[in-house]
Amino acid sequence: MTDRPDSKDAANSMWGGRFAAGPDSIMEAINASIGFDQRLYAQDIRGSRAHAAMLAAQGIISDNDAKAIGEGLLTVLSEIEAGNFPFRTALEDIHMNVEARLKEVIGEPAGRLHTGRSRNDQVATDFRLWVRDQCDAAIQGLTALIRAALSQAEAGADWVMPGFTHLQTAQPVTWGHHMMAYVEMFGRDLSRFQDARERMNESPLGAAALAGTGYPIDRHMTAAALGFDAPMANSLDAVSDRDFALEFLSSATICAVHLSRLAEELVIWSSAQFRFVSMSDKWSTGSSIMPQKRNPDAAELIRAKIGRILGATVALFTVMKGLPLAYSKDMQEDKEQVFDAADSLMLALAAMTGMLSDLTANRDRLEAAASSGFSTATDLADWLVRELGLPFRDAHHVTGSLVGLAEGRGVDLPDLTLADMQSVHGQITQDVFNVLGVHNSVASRQSYGGTAPAQVRAQIARWKEKLA
């Protein structure tokens, strides 16, 4: 192994002979990205090995040089993974750090690696590969979360609970139906990441700085080697496009909104006032001074992640909105927020999956709450329309009067007597009480996508088949 060159000399040699003096410390600090883009090391080395193999296959470099480059890059990879690689700020980024170390390992052949490419298409390739990996991770995480929600839905397909609008009791639904609402949301998130992955799966490698290259490269070969469907069709677009990162962040933001909504409900439901659910000790914390407390900290932290992920999305849109073609140094600011958003999303997905898997729903408390708050008032109005032929607006008025009567007496609708009912509308019969129970109410909601247990179980079966 040769001695390592002085960092400024190394940087100058990588830039070329145009620059005689090294950067001062402030320029070095603002220009360097190695502090964060070192996360792209595996993708950078993978792309370089594919590029070197292609150069040899096209006769642009010798087989011996390509072999030395390929083996040398594996040595660099092992050093990074072992934690023995000295990242140098003076070398700016992951590409120059890897290439400089490769030269120290194998000597002259390292200088041939960059033939027919630029850092512009190199970083575009590395970043696209990294974001594609994050799409795969999100797809895997969402699949696990959907399975956890399906398990909750299946266990409580016929457990009644209050359905809310404006956080006020509206109509009875089932626990399974409520869980399946989140399955649908997370299912759309899953499809967004799948769609984004498909769209981004084209290779920028070989676009060079912006105009392509005069070397007889084979871009289809490198695209296939890196698992891309095809090379990108326009070299200007290839080096300047960050749609793939914007689409990943947009999908992550919508997913984080869904996670936040569920987290909010878990916070409310686990409170002493609701007592709908109990979280395991794995996902709760205590208070430093109040021994009775069980705080839903994991849910609260998931709820907060949307702020970071949405902030990252806005930041990258703002960076990209005014850039002319092709590459501008502004685009160095495209990575940190994506890295942070991806980390936040994957952590939130894993935590929510764990919480749902360990969550215990309080069936008795759910049913008691479903039976309060006049939740079957709409069923009563529908009965008046269906059985007595009242126009719905008239039925709505009669039902409102009965709700007011019950409320004045401090009872619920099923607790009124038939005489009480008939004092408001004389044609009401004993049969009305068949629709006032919450179980009867949910069982009647047989429309597609409704809360009837049979409908819920049908949707669970559909999703199980879909995931299988």
Catalytic residues: 166, 287
Residue 446 contacts residue 143 (beta carbons within 8 Å): no
Tell me: cis bond preceding 66? Omega within 30 of 0 counts: no
Backbone angles phi, psi at 231, to 5 degrees: -75, 150
**164 DSSP β-pair partners:** 169
Phi-psi region of 11 (alpha: psi -120 to 50; beta: other; left: phi over 0): alpha
Closest by CA position to 316, among listed 295, 341, 346: 341
Contacts (Cβ under 8 Å, ≥6 apart) of 309: 249, 252, 253, 256, 341, 344, 345
Phi-psi region of 32 (alpha: psi -120 to 50; beta: other; left: phi over 0): beta
User: What 8-state DSSP symbol labels residue 171?
Assistant: E
**Cβ neighbour number for residue 336 with a 10 Å cutoff:** 17
Structure-token pair, residue 218 = 């084979």
The single residue listed with the structure tokens 């998130």 is 189
